[in-house]
Amino acid sequence: MSTKQPPIWRRAWSALRQPSLLMHLVLVQSVFFGLVWLGVVIYILQSNDSQEPEYLTSPQRMLALLALTRSAADNPERVKDLIEEFDAFQRVEDWYADGDEDRLMLVLRRHGKLIYTSDPKAERLPLAPADLAVHHQVFEGIRWAQRHGQDGTTGYQIQLIRNVQHEHLQAQLLALLRTLPWVLLLVPILLAANYWTIRRALRPLNRLVSELDQKPYHDLSALRAQPPQRELKSLSSALNGWLERLRSSQQRERQFAANAAHELRTPLAAISVNTEGLAELDLPERAYPLLQGLGRASERANRLTEQLLSSLRNESLAGDAAQTQLLDLAGLLQLRLADVSLLADRRHIELELQAPPSLSVPGRQELLEAVIDNLVTNAIKYSPAGRRVTVKLSASDHEACLEVLDQGPGIPAEWRERVLERFQRLPGQSGEGAGLGLSIVHGAVLALRGRMTLEDARSGPVDQGETPGLAVRVWLPLSA
């Protein structure tokens, strides 16, 4: 029975909400071109001044008024009457105006002293340059057009002023209406073009990602995709070089581990048997310490061989879901801690377990035992005598968390990735071991589809003489 697909708009919205390099690039380009378009529109709107009447845009009327003042320059009252009559005539002629506020206004001054004004608002307007040109200015939130003329001989100054706020808004609206259809037409075209070009440019990268995503974890062969682009070619070459180095390193390690496991196991077993046989003979007293040292060395060599075999076994079990079963991790912890309690007693280490009565996880018992045994044994081995090793087990919604905390020297942050590899030990580290314990744990955790971290057991600064300790945390899925 097929499941019902959600509506296309819901799927589109869900896709848009997810972080995407493609959508990010489309958005950046669209915002950039949108700002460019906005700048063009603003420039068009600002450059569209209102269309003034010819009597304001033409200098002839101003020249006639200046000539009129010169004709009666010696009689200021006569000049005022003439200007007032002229103003009344032009008000009748100004059929452009929608009301008194939009009519042409006239201001007459002589040597800066006001003689006549059509409207008190006009006299407050700052003087424009006396070059007979039309100047637009915004005063008290209103846009004005002004022509200023001055007669240097008689000292008369004339201003022709008109409120052009309505005409300016109308001109901007007309410019916007002329521009808007082009914007509405080009915006979807621009978005589609951006999406198509960027998606096409990212296609080689998507092929690389798809091939890497489909590779099995054990397939370290070179990538088949070879993009021609310079940047992606460098990325592909770097990935192939990394895969080649990883493959060579893995092959060397596997070969060494296999040879060591097969070549050392038989002679080591013979050494152990012969050592036990010699101990039963009647030998001089001074021979027994030598036999004990030989037995300890044989035991250590056998342990190293078993660790190598365990590491190889973890790799072979990785991804083998058919052999997975549900196991009680809490019960297994109790059993394994009981087995290592003798080692803890010999080193005077206190073991503490904090775990629920039962907690089940899917996995293989040998893998879980490898994780527990190596973590707890390492913690006991590197903790000073008289200290405590704490083992905690807890669960969240989807994962179980196993924590092993010791009070030993810890591991510096710069070495925490390297010690997860085989045969890696801290510089100057004393004591037994070949650097396999944590690598075995890491391999087993990966085979169990889990993850692990290494941190300081103590939070904050450490006092002099104290050690930071090590906290190893392993997360395992609660469901297969």
Domain count, the chain: 4
Q: Same structural domain for residues 185 and 157? A: no
- CB 448, CB 367: distance < 8 Å: yes
Q: Same structural domain for residues 428 and 366? A: yes
Q: Same structural domain for residues 44 and 58? A: no
pLDDT of residue 207: 83
Q: Same structural domain for residues 100 and 130? A: yes
Q: Same structural domain for residues 178 and 284? A: no
pLDDT of residue 162: 82
H-assigned helices in 406-456: 437-447
Q: How far apart are CA 126 and CA 148, in angstroms?
A: 11
Q: How far apart are CA 306 and CA 337, in angstroms?
A: 19
pTM of the predicted model, to two decimals?
0.45
pLDDT of residue 411: 87
Give the mean pLDDT per block of 10 residues along the chain (480 residues). Answer: 63 64 66 74 60 61 84 84 82 57 81 86 84 82 85 87 74 72 77 77 81 72 79 82 85 71 71 76 78 74 68 58 77 90 90 92 87 90 90 90 91 85 69 71 86 84 74 87
Q: Residue 329, Cβ neighbours under 10 Å: how many?
A: 23
Close Cβ partners of 272 (under 8 Å, ≥ 6 residues apart): 295, 298, 299, 302
pLDDT of residue 429: 65
- CB 444, CB 371: distance < 8 Å: yes
H/E stretch holding 451 reads: strand 451-456
Q: Same structural domain for residues 385 and 288? A: no
pLDDT of residue 240: 86
Q: Give, as one character, the DSSP assignment of residue 129.
A: P
* CATH number of the domain bearing residue 259: 1.10.287
Domain that holds residue 189: 15-49+173-201
Q: How far apart are CA 109 and CA 116, in angstroms?
A: 7
Q: Same structural domain for residues 326 and 423? A: yes
Picking from 312, 335, 357, the residue at the C-terminal end of a domain is 312
Residues paired with 477 in a beta bridge? 399
Q: Same structural domain for residues 268 and 402? A: no
Handedness of CA 381, 399, 250, 428 (dihedral sign): negative
pLDDT of residue 104: 80
pLDDT of residue 473: 94
pLDDT of residue 2: 47
Q: Same structural domain for residues 395 and 428? A: yes
Q: Same structural domain for residues 45 and 64? A: no
| Parallel/antiparallel/unpaired status of strands 388-395 and 350-354 | parallel
Q: How far apart are CA 306 and CA 397, in angstroms?
A: 36
Picking from 312, 329, 354, the residue at the C-terminal end of a domain is 312
**Residue 442 belongs to some domain of the structure:** yes
pLDDT of residue 322: 46
